[in-house]
Structure 1
Amino acid sequence: MPTWTLHTEFKFDAAHFIDGYDGKCGRMHGHSYKVKMTAKSHKLNPSKYLKSDDMVCDFKELKWAAKDSKKGGFDHGVLNELMPDNTTAERIAEYIHKETKNRIPEGIDLTVTVWETDNSWVEYTDQDV
């Protein structure tokens, strides 16, 4: 079966605090987050910008979180104001995953990796691995 796996990475800067955390992460602070998106599909699809079935999904849709927070993304925003859940790295990855799945065609296996620092990251997928 043919398989295409799309990869893209982007960064955004944002502030947050972890509500209820007993330590310095409970206070407002910021990170330069790095995100890797991996989208795997057994078929090609159209997109909002290309009507023919020639892509797994559009890179623009995968990179929505890199947009300015005033334009629907996370960049230079306060994550506690932009997300319904607590802003741990795990919840950020889960939220980006869920929001991205709403923007891309059905049937794509999506994996989201979020680096909070150079040596601390989390990977999220809704598939059994």
Structure 2
Amino acid sequence: MPWTLSTEFTFDSAHTITGYDGPCGRLHGHTYRVRLQLTSERLRPSAHVRRSIMVADFKTLKWAKKDVTQGGLDHAYLNDLPDLGDDTTAEVIAAYLHRETLRRVKETLDEGDDGADLRLRVSLWETPDSCCEYWE
């Protein structure tokens, strides 16, 4: 696969890990750091340019950086998100970011392009020294 697009960003959110016996069971927040690496065998158009010159648009990849009122995760209470609910561990959030980012990227593809060659790796830091990675 000849192209890998990488981007990093942060977002601030709060959560509670329901049923956790310890401080993480109480309301607390993090400045999450995210690295997304999207690999493709070919270049494609995007929502902002119709020529086949991109793996994907950085704007599409950085959706989670937006404020929660704009469909992102910044300043969200993660337990309120239907796709996460009470399960807001780094592992579950990383898998959610993977699933939702690929869905958003594939939404921008031309008709007939199923994006089967796209591979996404998500790295999510909950603290500066604690990271979870998710990929398929």
The verdict on a shared fold, with TM-score over 0.5 as the criterion, is yes
Answer yes or no: is the 8 Å Cα contact 1:74–1:82 preserved in 2. no
Paired amino acid for 2:133: E
**2:88 equivalent in structure 1:** 87
Instruction: Normalising by structure 1, report the TM-score.
Output: 0.93
Structure 1 runs not aligned, ≥5 long: none
Instruction: Normalising by structure 2, report the TM-score.
Output: 0.89
Distance 1:62 1:13 in 2: 17
Q: Once the 2 structures are TM-superposed, how far is the Cα of residue 91 of structure 1 from its aligned partner?
A: 0.4
**1:100 equivalent in structure 2:** 101
**Aligned partner of residue 105 in structure 2, secondary structure:** coil
Q: Once the 2 structures are TM-superposed, how far is the Cα of residue 104 of structure 1 from its aligned partner?
A: 1.2
Alignment RMSD (CA, Å) = 1.0
Distance 1:81 1:3 in 2: 39
Distance 2:52 2:104 in 1: 16
Deviations 1:61-116 (A, max 9, x none): 11000000110000011011124231000000000100001011412100000000
Q: How many residues align?
A: 125
Deviations 1:8-41 (A, max 9, x none): 0000000001111111101110000000000111
**Aligned partner of residue 8 in structure 1, secondary structure:** strand
Alignment identity in percent? Answer: 51
Paired amino acid for 2:54: M
**Aligned partner of residue 92 in structure 1, secondary structure:** helix
Structure 2 runs not aligned, ≥5 long: 107-114
Worse overlay, 18-27 or 110-119: 18-27
